[in-house]
Structures are given as C-alpha cells and as structure tokens.
Amino acid sequence: MPKKDITQMYFNDIYPLYVKKVERKGHTQAEVDQIITWLTGYNQDSLRAILQNEITFEDFFNQAPKFNDQAKLITGTICGVKVENITDPLVQKIRYLDKLIDELAHNKQMAKILRH
C-alpha cells in the first residue's frame, strides 16, 4: 500500500495526535490551539469549524486567513529534515506546525515557540 501524501491527509485526523502528544507531557489542547491560531491566522471558531469537517492539510493551509510571517524564524529538524531547507512551500508549512507542536511537547516556553 503506497504511503499517503501528507498534504492530502485530513487535518482533523492529525489534530488529535497533536493534542495527545502534548497532553502526555502535561500540556493542553488550548496550547495546541494557540500555536495553530498563531501560525495560520484562524481564530478559535474557525478552527472548531474546520475540525468538524474533512479538510486536507493542503486546503487547511491554502485557506489560512494569514500565515504568520514569523514562521520563517522556525528552524530545526523534524522527521529527520531541517524545516528551513524544505523546498515545497506547503510541506514546509506542515512541518513548521509539526516543529512547533514538538517544541511544546519538549516544554519550550510558549513565548519562544511563538517567536516573540
């Protein structure tokens, strides 16, 4: 069975995995939501609406109200690849989100995660 392209995975299938990952480390769904809204410009209501539907990562990021300009400050390795070196803009956005969730799970301070 071929591996599914990450851009075509449903955001609402992956979101609970993000929440579980950080909850195991003592963090909350609210913190996950804060990261997502900071990165994408979605507000809490629009994020809740998205989670009620099957929206691919591609559509999730393409429809994002305002992708944060500070995302370019996100660096480091996720899935064995440096996020700053990813050439596909959509995959890079997905990996930015993965990296931020990973930083939260590793107890990095929210101000540093959100590049303040």
CATH number at residue 102: 1.10.8.290
Q: What is the pLDDT of residue 77?
A: 94
pLDDT at 29: 98
- Quickly list DSSP for 31-54: HHHHHHHHHH---HHHHHHHHTS-
Give the range of the structural domain holding residue 92, as residue numbers without chain letter. 6-113
pLDDT at position 116: 78
Q: Tell me, yes or no, whether 53 lies in a domain.
A: yes
* pLDDT tens by residue, the chain, 116 residues: 455 689 999 999 999 999 999 999 999 999 999 999 999 999 999 999 999 999 999 999 999 999 999 999 999 999 899 999 999 999 999 999 999 999 999 999 999 999 97
> pTM for the full model?
0.94
